[in-house]
Amino acid sequence: MIDMHSHILPGIDDGARDLDEGLALLRLAEADGVTTQVLTPHIHPVRYDNTLASIRLACERLAQAAGQAGLTIRLEFAAEIRIGSEIMALVTADQIPWLGVWEGRKVLLLEFPYTGIPVGSLNLVAWLRQRDIVPMLAHPERIFPIQDDFEKLRPFLAAGCLAQITAGSLLGDFGPAALRVALRLLEGGQVGLIASDCHNLTYRPPKLGAGVEAAARVIGERAARELVTTVPRRMRAALGAA
């Protein structure tokens, strides 16, 4: 499996606190059947001022430590980027850690605040689409306004956004509302990826395999596994060619 959303890079956001925890999370992911772990720390101005260069360096350091620890899991990186006007400057300066490429367009992992969809978000999506960039919405099933009213998500899907759901949402880890929205997206064929979005060893560990099993009960094993194998492999391979 390829896990396309995680917070394992130590000490740079709200994920792994230190190298030991980062390595422990990688061990769990590897044991779960993840062969490629895409590291996607937050880029959230003021709160998490990570950059393309700093994320690349942190990934290289973790990969070196993982190799010394005997881990064989492949490490790659992207970023989970909080929606805001700063994205336009990052795109213009070619400083986005892209998640992949889909149908010839670069994919950006885009995060909404849990408590609301900012005014102007659709305008930013349109700006990105005009530049052949596809926003992939990170865990929309966990956004409270979408849980309250699924119709708030429809304009973004209609505008060409992809959706990534969290494995734990399918397991009930984020409550019944997140589960309900995740299932609705699955049943509607509107899920682009399933990912772990793991953060720590206690309440947010890697559990991608269990999430895929839960998805398989809804859409079938082949379709569920494609969301963690075929689709992410195509996205990452195309990124290398872009």
In whole angstroms, what is the distance from residue 58 CA to residue 60 CA? 5
**Is the pTM of the predicted complex or chain greater than 0.85?**
yes
In this predicted structure, the answer to whether residue 237 has a pLDDT above a threshold of 70 is: yes
pLDDT digits (tens, 9 = 90+) for 129-188: 999 999 999 999 999 999 999 999 999 999 999 999 999 999 999 999 999 999 999 999
pLDDT digits (tens, 9 = 90+) for 173-228: 999 999 999 999 999 999 999 999 999 999 999 999 999 999 999 999 999 999 99
User: Which class does domain 2-241 fall in?
Assistant: alpha beta
Give the pLDDT score at 242. 61
To which residue do tokens 């490629």 refer? 36
Give the pLDDT score at 241. 63
Burial grade of 86 (CB within 10 A; 0-12, 13-18, 19 or more): middle
Find all residues with CB under 8 Å of 142, minimum gap 6, and list them.
114, 166, 169, 174, 178
3-class state of residue 67 by DSSP? helix
